[in-house]
Amino acid sequence: MYVPGHFAADDAAVRELLANHGAADLVTATPQGLLATLLPFVYDPEVGDHGALLGHVARNNEQWQQPALGEALVIVRGPDAYVTPSWYATKAEHGRVVPTWNYVTAHVYGRLVVHDDPAWLDSLVRRLTDRHEATNPLPWSVDDAPPKFISGQLRAIVGVELVIGRVEAKVKLSQNRSRADIDGVITGLEARGDAASASAMRAANRPSER
């Protein structure tokens, strides 16, 4: 990944992204070519030296059945947004501005481990469910469904674990712009209703960090 110095992510930003992202793309090189699947992951910082991403795929998905050639890759994304030059204060000053795209992302590389184990999958599904149901007024629990039904559902999936070897991360949130331009982008994002991107920009552009 191309990462200019002003867009480099520190360890804290990487950990936050891995812990709080939604779904991500699992990409593997196989004898059949590149295969990719979008799926939710849980980040477990206690596995190995750099943690692991835990998820599951459908049993009928051929990706888990194909041997990965070399490292597997998970592409994790945070907030992203189109940025119009109209939000820049410098547009009125000299007009030398162009559109861009702000985003937060990480390319997570590592060894892919397959878990065809009902107990492992039951634990994972509960972790995923608890995480994503936590903000609901009436959180759904795995135990709300009949045990026999859940057992059948678990037989239809296979676990995947990316044991992380290295991470390349980029936080491109207008850090290369002037303070006035940054404030203009934040105001524009909030007016558009993109609170997540506006919040990420504030965090990345605190005065003490620039």
Residue 66 lies in a domain: yes
pLDDT band per the 50, 70, 90 thresholds, residue 210: very low
Structure tokens at 125: 């599904």
pLDDT band per the 50, 70, 90 thresholds, residue 208: low
* Residue numbers of the domain that contains 148: 5-79+102-174
Residue 186 lies in a domain: no
CATH number of the domain where residue 22 is located? 2.30.110.10
pLDDT tens figures, 76-115: 999 999 999 999 999 888 988 899 999 999 999 999 999 9
Query: Is the entire prediction scored with pTM above 0.85?
Result: yes
The pLDDT score that the predictor gives to residue 174 is 95
Asked if residue 24 has pLDDT above 70, the reply is: yes
DSSP letter string, 59-109: TT-GGGGSPP-S-EEEEEEEEEEEE-GGG-THHHHT-----EEEEEEEEEE
Residue 57 lies in a domain: yes
Residue 121 lies in a domain: yes
Asked if residue 187 has pLDDT above 80, the reply is: yes
Average pLDDT, the chain: 94
Residue 96 lies in a domain: no
Question: Exposed, middle or buried, 165 (CB in 10 Å: 0-12/13-18/19+)?
Answer: middle
pLDDT band per the 50, 70, 90 thresholds, residue 51: very high
Asked if residue 27 has pLDDT above 70, the reply is: yes
Residue 88 lies in a domain: no
Residue 56 lies in a domain: yes
Beta-strand pair 100-115/42-44: unpaired
The pLDDT score that the predictor gives to residue 92 is 85
Q: How many domains, the chain?
A: 1
Percent of the chain with pLDDT over 90: 89
The CA distance from 108 to 175, in Å, is: 23
Residue 204 lies in a domain: no
